[in-house]
Amino acid sequence: MSRRDQILETAAELFAARGFHGVSVADLGAACGISGPALYKHFDSKQAMLAEMLVSISEELLSVGRQRVDAAGTPGAALDALVDWHVDFALRHRPLIVVQDRDWESLPPEARERVRSLQRAYVDLWAAQLRALDEARDLDTARAMAHAAFGLINSTPHSGLLPDEQMRGVLTTMALGALR
């Protein structure tokens, strides 16, 4: 993991615990073992950290989601692969889910639009598989179903009361049950 990635991971944990505005550059530096101003060697600002954090997770969700769909042989297998991917992501990145939800308004406008665009493409990836499973399903319904599944899966920071492997089973069973 690069130093830059370590800083982003630490920032995500701090932002999730205290909120974007509750964390100073000095706090971030101290948590990373460097001075606050040394962070500016890696990022232009605290806002730039938040932007990179949230844009990069949206890019990763879409990129890996597309790979999973491309590797699947059927719409059902693609849906299974998407659920598996999103559950895995949610369990590994709980702080990022909290930050995305709570600190969205702190994103610079251009980063917010990039995240929205990536998220729309990710929703549509899911919606396409849901429509392939039921050709009578309209696009708006398929998108609503995808959003509802994300809500269920992304509840992990608040509902993850079980060990991860057990939680993985619960989330996967519930998401697939709801989507099918």
Give yes or no for residue 180 having a pLDDT over 70. Answer: yes
Q: What are 43-69's pLDDT values in tens digits?
A: 999 999 999 999 999 999 999 999 999
Per-domain residue ranges of the chain: 45-179
pLDDT for 160 equals 65
- Tokens 């809500």 sit on residue: 151
Architecture of domain 45-179: Orthogonal Bundle (1.10)
Q: How far apart are CA 179 and CA 148, in angstroms?
A: 9
Give yes or no for residue 130 having a pLDDT over 80. Answer: yes
Q: How far apart are CA 126 and CA 75, in angstroms?
A: 10
Give yes or no for residue 8 having a pLDDT over 90. Answer: yes
- Residue by residue, DSSP assigns the chain as --HHHHHHHHHHHHHHHH-GGG--HHHHHHHHTS-GGGGGGT-S-HHHHHHHHHHHHHHHHHHHHHHHHHH-SSHHHHHHHHHHHHHHHHHH-HHHHHHHHHSGGGS-HHHHHHHHHHHHHHHHHHHHHHHHH-TT--HHHHHHHHHHHHHHHTTHHHH--S-HHHHHHHHHHHHHHHH-
Q: What are 143-170's pLDDT values in tens digits?
A: 999 999 999 999 988 876 899 999 999 9
Q: Which two tokens stand for residue 42?
A: 């890696």
% of residues, the chain, pLDDT over 90:
90
pTM metric for this prediction: 0.93
% of residues, the chain, pLDDT over 70:
99
Find, among 96, 11, 97, the residue nearest to 47 by Cα: 11
Amino acid (1-letter code) at residue 142: A
Q: Which two tokens stand for residue 130?
A: 């849901």
